[in-house]
Amino acid sequence: MGAWLFSTAQAKPKVEWVSIPAGTFIMGSAPCEVGRNLEETQHQVTVSAFKMSKYEVTYKQYDAYCEAIGREKVGDKDWGRGNRPVIFVSWQDATDFAEWMGCRLPTEAEWEYACRANTLTPFHTGNNLTTSQANFNGEYPYNGNAKGEYRGQTTPVGLFAPNAFGLHDMHGNVWEYCSDWYAPYSHEAQTDPKGPKTGEKHPIRGGSFGHYNTAARSRSAYRTSVTSDERHDTVGIRLVSSD
């Protein structure tokens, strides 16, 4: 699909970037939002312009990195590699890959701002998310809506329609790492927050295909966390750049 190309000069995969404009938004969820948890306190955040990868990082690209640095490739559960999102990578693995690529992981604020794409609803698709719009466990639909498909594995990146910014798979498929340390939100208005300087876990956002991944866990505001060295078959990578 042309999501990634090779630069012979750098011998590194090239990213298809989407320009995300600067803006101010309400991060978190309203008290009345179905599926909301206590870690989603609403607060105003201003975000500077940045670029985000249009797609989640694929096996094709991560395999190229492993080959370049002489690192063992990660498994794929026999679901296929190529344009499927890479899994079984830790937060530290993702950070190292991003640095090698000359970019970084998104902050949690950047991630939610990009996911929402100027929406205030639970999903960038509106008040509901279906399995024709994202890869999550459709056996657990949102707010009493009709059940959908449970695929039980990743799908190739870009299979579903993008959000208004042009980003694919911001809901479902694989969780995506954020650069911050995980912490409760501030109630104060913030500009380009990067989280605390230290912590024990890092945020992952967006939900996944996983069995326990309900539609509610795929909401724009939903947040959970993992340690720096955990590796899962439901967590992958998305890149950002400030250049």
Cα–Cα distance for residue pair 98/194, rounded to 1 Å: 17
Own/partner long-range contacts of 27-31 (Cβ < 8 Å, ≥24 apart)? 27/109, 27/112, 27/113, 27/185, 27/221, 28/185, 28/221, 29/122, 29/219, 29/220, 29/221
Edge-to-edge order in the sheet of strand 190-191: 23-27, 43-47, 190-191
Distance CA 42, CA 45 (A): 9
Residue with tokens 């959000």: 163
pLDDT digit string, tens, across residues 191-222: 999 999 999 999 999 999 999 999 999 999 99
- Residue 6 reports pLDDT greater than 60: no
Is the pLDDT at 102 greater than 80? The verdict is yes
Give how far Cα 182 sits from Cα of 85, 130, 140, Å: 24, 29, 26
pLDDT at 9 over 60: no
The whole-number pLDDT of residue 11 equals: 73
Where are the chain's structural domains? Answer: 1-243
87 within 8 A of 233, measured Cβ to Cβ = yes
Q: What is the pLDDT of residue 193?
A: 98
Helices 91-101 and 59-69: angle between axes, nearest 10 degrees: 80
Distance (Å, rounded) from C-alpha 169 to C-alpha 181? 23
Task: Sort strands 43-47 and 23-27 into parallel, antiparallel or unpaired.
Answer: antiparallel
* 159-203 per-position pLDDT tens digit: 999 999 999 999 999 999 999 999 999 999 999 999 999 999 999
115-135 confidence digits (pLDDT tens): 999 999 999 999 999 999 999
Averaged pLDDT for residues 223-240 = 98
| Mean pLDDT across 219-242 | 98
The reported pLDDT for the residue numbered 243 is 82
What does the pLDDT read at residue 223? 98
Alpha helices in 21-90 (DSSP H): 59-69
With pLDDT > 90 as the criterion, what percentage of the chain qualifies?
94
pLDDT of 8 > 70? The answer is: no
pLDDT of residue 132: 98
**If you average pLDDT over every residue of the chain, what do you get?**
95
Task: Please write the tens of the pLDDT for every residue from 23-44.
Answer: 999 999 999 999 999 999 999 9
Output the pLDDT for position 5: 45
Please provide the size of the chain in residues: 243
Structure tokens at 93: 């693995």
Three-state DSSP class for residue 23: strand
Q: Which fold has domain 1-243?
A: paralog of FGE (formylglycine-generating enzyme) (3.90.1580)
Tokens of 198: 């230290």
